[in-house]
Structure 1
């Protein structure tokens, strides 16, 4: 990728973020419901107190002025104070973000470890009963609703067999010093293997709930790309030269078949980060997705706006990284 192309892709970030900022601001602002009334629901506040709180939050200003103030602050990295936490928005997000990233990465690892072998096997055994069975299983996996699948796993492995915990990140009996915010890392830094095992046990069900539907989609992509590559001339030529089937598959075919899979993986990673709200709610996972759901119901405008912008930046950067990976997998992409 040339420097000019790199600059063009980075420049595309600005209009995307501006459009997302406007859409999110209008959607959350025009949604019925008054955050002041929600905040004062349990208090016997007078009309004067409610109006003072509205002025303090800046909700008495015109819509255009509020958006311009929000945009100016966002350019400086300042998203204001969370209405309900009464703390800077980024501080609240920073507390929850490691939990979401940790769950996303583990779910992504599960998806890749399942999808690539199954996709390659289905392509090699094309049109066989193995291929048809794997295709049916992947179609079923793509169709699984996250909330239903999560509840089913809880009922089966947590309630019925009592093998895994129902929800949360770690048991109440464990106290782990917060160093990075990532429990798997923090427990290892504390040299507490019991806490590490407990944290892993809490990760299993939500990671499978997120990872298997992603694996189903990714496996279909790998299978389709791999089947196309196996029928290409250069693969047939490599086999005619006497190269082993394993070397042809791993070194020649799989490397090129992964190019479309990289795109899907980048998009799905963004979806796992931004779309795991339901799974986090089902499993009581204290991540950013669950925080956003709570903030939407509470009309916590600054936090929702900052979180959605974070999701948008994540999508753009992941697609940019996918472009860079293309050049590593296939140098012809540089042209």
Structure 2
């Protein structure tokens, strides 16, 4: 039988040598990982930028597999009935080498690598910036595309038609995905112009809430009802955006109406005293204070109170406003100044015949 011819003493010796060579390269791989790679990491950590450390970490797994592939290649030279110079085998081997190199560069351009960390620090991008992940994905796509092209060429495949096909396919996809492209452009505008960042409270005609995530296609906003709304970026860039988190202070304004019975002197006192207590409050912005007797209401004299607190926190602003209200309440009580209560006087006029009857009745009563 033909398969029995394989188990000759010569073939078994060659098979043993091939297996031994392969196991030897596995041992080299173990030694490299445990000793040589650790030494390289220590040397790389001594550099000020840790650039070489990142390279070593990116290519660690590919190099480990390189020992396996190269060991397999050397072992095959002793393996019976296998031709090391076979064209297809060499093509596969070349493709594997390209794959391992691609794997290393793919790891190196990760968004958290030192390459993009340095760019992030130099350009001072915000924590929510998504340009770095986008650049990382774009570079990874380019690396994979180049590797795929080289591998296809290694198998004698004409990549010209393949690239042309990609161009036509890309055109068809772009026409069919105009909304996606519009959202991506909107995301790019949001990233570059930065009308808001993660954690900002924004208000638009379509949404009111806190920004939780900014992506290239959409932005996630948490509303006051704790609902998560995904808004397409193309919609956001077309709408006016009010970013309340960008304000440096909060506005407060209200009106006080004093009764018409209040003397002019007391009206002037109320205006001056309210202005004084606001100007002596360190939590109130001094440049924005306005206390004026500005108009006559239907039921009294109107005093406008307008000021800004130095805080942007809603709860703290409410507390400051509450303390101001209590101080004004005490001031008015101490000065015996009353606030006007909205009232309406209702005059009812009886019909003419009823008026005549009432007059005759009153006349009779007086005659008696």
TM-score norm. by structure 1 comes to 0.31
TM-score norm. by structure 2 comes to 0.29
Q: Which has the higher contact order (CA 8 A, sep 6+)?
A: 1
Indicate the structure with greater strand content: 2
Indicate the structure with greater helix content: 1
